[in-house]
Amino acid sequence: MLDINQELKKSLKNLEVKTVFQYPDSFVELPIVSYYTVSDKIKMFVDNGAFIEEGYINLDIWTKTPKEGFDIAQAVNSALDNDGWIMQFMMDVKKESDENIYHRTMRFKKQFVII
């Protein structure tokens, strides 16, 4: 069994944006990318043991402008695509306050061969 969050963290290591697990403690210094595992399951068994594990992660981008969010989303998608992650969807999240914080969410999946 793999720690999907650690696998994602490795994939994001060259991203030039602060990344945090789950949810930002503060929105004072933007942009921030947060992430967490949505689902982690064994996809295939061989000889009574796990062989392929599939992880789904959610990634949230918090920015001061919609354009900045889109630009970071492109960088995230490129980094994760280069490491074998497949984007499932991306969307803007409706603002719920007058604060100038824009939120974009993305979901990715990846299959890992485990032995």
Instruction: Indicate the SS3 state at residue 72.
Output: helix
Residues 114, 53 contacting (CB under 8 angstroms) = yes
The fold adopted by the segment(s) 4-113 is: STM4215-like (3.30.2000)
Record the pTM.
0.87
Instruction: Give the C-alpha distances (Å, rounded to integers) separating 26 from 30, 44, 61, 77.
Output: 9, 40, 13, 24
Structure tokens belonging to residue 85: 């992650």
Residue-range domain boundaries for the chain: 4-113
What is the pLDDT at residue 94?
87
Mean pLDDT for each 10-residue chunk of the chain (115 residues)? 88 94 92 92 71 89 95 97 96 83 95 79
What is the pLDDT at residue 46?
75
